[in-house]
Copies of this chain bind each other. A is one copy, B any other.
Amino acid sequence: MAVYTEVDSETLATFLTEYAIGDLVSCKGIAEGVENSNFLIHTSAGVFILTIYEKRVRPEDLPFFLALLDHLADKGTACPRPIHGRDGQALRHLMGKPAAIVSFLEGVSVRRPKPEHCAEVGRAMAKLHLNGASFGQRRRNDLSVEGWKTLAQACQPLADGVRPGLAKFILDEITFLEGRWPTRLPVGTIHADLFPDNVFFIGDRVSGLIDFYFACTDTLAYDLAIGLNAWCFELDHAFNVTKARQLLAAYREVRPLSPDELAALPLLARGAALRFLLTRLYDWLHQVEGALVRPKDPLEYSAKLRFHQAVQSPAAYGLS
C-alpha cells in the first residue's frame, strides 16, 4: 500500500522504450496492492499499471502469475493483461528489481459491499474458475495446511500477548483441520485473495479483478470459502447470511457445486479464516520499525473462525 521503490522519469522513459506502448506522459506512484510498488502511467498510447515487485513476492513465482493473467485475459476475464516487451517478454527488470506493466482497469473497490456486490463476486469467481481450467501451469498453495503450521510455530511464543489463549486456539484448530482437510474435491486455479480491495466495480457490476499474487492451484471451493470470509461478514464481525446466499447462488449458476463441495464448505471456511488469522497475526507480531504499512487486526479472523466452528451444516451459509 505504498511506493517502496522510486523510479525517476528519465529511467522510466528509457524503460518504456523496451515496449511498443508509446512515450511516457505521466507517472504517479499509487497506494495499491500487496507490498509492491505500483505506478499509474499514462503514455501516448494509453493508461497502464507498472509494478515493481518487492520482497513479498518470490521472483520464481512471477512467470506463473504473468502467464496466468495472459491466459485469463485471453479467456475474457476482466483482469490486468500483461504488456509484453518488443522481445516478447512481459517480466522485465527496473531499478534492479523484477517489474511488469499491465493494462489499467477502470472501476473502484467497495468498502461496504451490498448483497448485489456479493452476487457479482460469486459470478466473477465462478467464471474465473472456469476460465482457469485450461491454464496449463500449476503453483502450490504455500498458505495451506503445511504453511499454517509454519506460521503458527513462528507466532507461538508471542500469540498469547495478542490475546490470552490464542496460541492454543490456533494449535487446536490446526490439529482439527489437518486430519479432516479435503483432498478429493475439484482442484483448479484459484485467486486465493479475492477480497473487496481486489475487485473493481463500475456501478454494481464487476469491472475487474486484480492482485493475483496469491493465485495457486488448489481446491476450487476453498476460494469460495475465502470469499465467504472476505465478503459476508459485517464490520462488527456478524455473519450476513443474505450476502452469503447471494454469493453462493450466483457462483452455482455459473459453476454448479457438487454435494461433496457443499458439504465441505464449513470446514473450508474454517481453514480460510485460520489462514488469514495466521498471516495477519504473523504480520502483527513482526512489524518492521518504520514500515509504511499498518498491519490489519488479526483478531477479526479469530472471530470469523469462531463463527465457522459453530456452524452445524452448510445451511448456515444460506444454502437451501
Contacts and interface: CB of A to CB of B under 8 A. Distances in A.
A110 interface: yes
A241 interface: no
Given A2-B292, A3-B31, A30-B30, A25 B110 contact: no
B28 A40 contact: yes
A42 interface: yes
Given A2-B2, A25-B202, A8 B111 contact: yes
A109 interface: yes
Contacts of A28: 28, 30-32, 40
A206 to B, nearest CB: 13
B31 A32 contact: no
Nearest to A290: B290
Contacts of A87: none
A26 interface: yes
B27 A108 contact: yes
For the complex formed by this chain, how many copies does it contain in all?
2
Interface string A17-60: 00000001111111110000000101000000000000000000
A134 interface: no
Nearest to A291: B290
A108 to B, nearest CB: 4
Interface string A95-133: 000000000001111111000000000000000000000
A26 B106 contact: yes
A10 B112 contact: yes
A89 interface: no
A12 B110 CA distance: 11
Nearest to A28: B30
A302 to B, nearest CB: 24
A57 B194 CA distance: 38
Contacts of A137: none
B30 A109 contact: no
B106 A42 contact: yes
A292 B24 CA distance: 28
A2 B25 contact: no
A54 to B, nearest CB: 15
Interface string A285-320: 000001010000000000000000000000000000
A177 to B, nearest CB: 34
5 shortest interchain CB distances as A-B pairs: A8-B111, A9-B108, A29-B31, A28-B30, A3-B31
21 contacts: A2-B292, A8-B112, A9-B111, A10-B110, A10-B111, A12-B108, A13-B108, A25-B106, A25-B108, A26-B107, A28-B28, A28-B30, A29-B30, A29-B31, A30-B30, A30-B31, A31-B31, A40-B40, A42-B106, A290-B290, A292-B292
